[in-house]
Every structure is written in C-alpha cells, then in structure tokens.
Amino acid sequence: MIAGLRRATAVDATRVAALVDRSYGHYVARIGQKPYPMTVDYAEAIQAMRGFVVEREHRLVGFLLLEATRDHMMVENVAIDPGHQGTGMGRALMELAEAEALGAGLTELRLYTHQMMTENQAIYRRLGYVEYERKVVGGRPRVYMCKTLSRRHV
C-alpha cells in the first residue's frame, strides 16, 4: 500500500496538472514541445477514467490515470514529483495499475511514451513491458508498450 494514496476527484484537477508540469517540464526542451500529458484537461480525464493520487503533507506527489478498454487496461499517465522520483513510488503505482487491470478481468496492461523519452522506455522494459508499435499521434512520435499479466502479479 502506498502512503497517501487515494482516488482522484475533480477537485484534484488543478493540482494534478501542476504535478504533471513538474514531472514532465524538463522534456519540453528535449522534444521541442510540451509532452502530451502536459496538454490534458485533467478535470475531464479524471471524470472519464480511473485516477489515483498520492498526497503527502498536503501536496500531490504522484498520479496515475488508467483507462479500461474491452481487452486491456491503458496507463494514460503516471507522474511522480521530481523530489519523489527514485523512491519506488512510480513502481508502486505501476503495480497498482496491474492490480486494477486484473481486478477488471483484464490480462494486458498497455502504455505509451514519447519516442525521445528513452529513459522511460528503459524503465518500462525493466518492468517487463515490450514494444509493440510506434506511431505519430497529434504530432508526437509515440512508442507503445504492453505487458501480459497473470494472477501472480497481484
């Protein structure tokens, strides 16, 4: 269990957007535009999908956004405050994503990242994800990855 974890609500949207900006802001110079997560309407996304936040000392430090489809769970976003990166929170949120997928009867977890976010791709590979597609969406080159889950992941 992650300390300070709870379901996201619409009132979290502004703070989620600020967390995402802190988490992804350093990529703007590298890729020449805001990464997709920095352009999302989080009030709408939280209402439409499964969102979770991690709050510590009245500050959001982690965020996970999931979307269930008919045959898989999509990790739409995972964001960790820069001051909390490297603490295991990201891994714990990805484990929560796996548990949510299995709880919904889904055995595949998918995600995507910008092609130039190579360190994210490396992290996902270490977590057992494999690349299955590359395509450009909204002018952003994405790398799509997936992981097959089984009950042993819970």
Q: For residue 95, tell me if it sits in a domain.
A: yes
Tens digits of per-residue pLDDT, 96-122?
A: 999 999 999 999 999 999 999 999 999
In the chain, the percentage of residues whose pLDDT exceeds 70 is 97
Where do the DSSP E strands lie in 24-154? 50-56, 59-68, 73-80, 108-114, 130-137, 140-148
Q: For residue 97, tell me if it sits in a domain.
A: yes
114/121 Cα distance (integer angstroms): 9
Q: For residue 29, tell me if it sits in a domain.
A: yes
Q: For residue 107, tell me if it sits in a domain.
A: yes
Domain CATH number, residue 116 = 3.40.630.30
Q: For residue 135, tell me if it sits in a domain.
A: no
Tens digits of per-residue pLDDT, 117-136?
A: 999 999 999 999 999 999 99
Task: Tally the domains of the chain.
Answer: 1
> What residues make up the domain containing 81?
5-130
Report pTM. 0.94
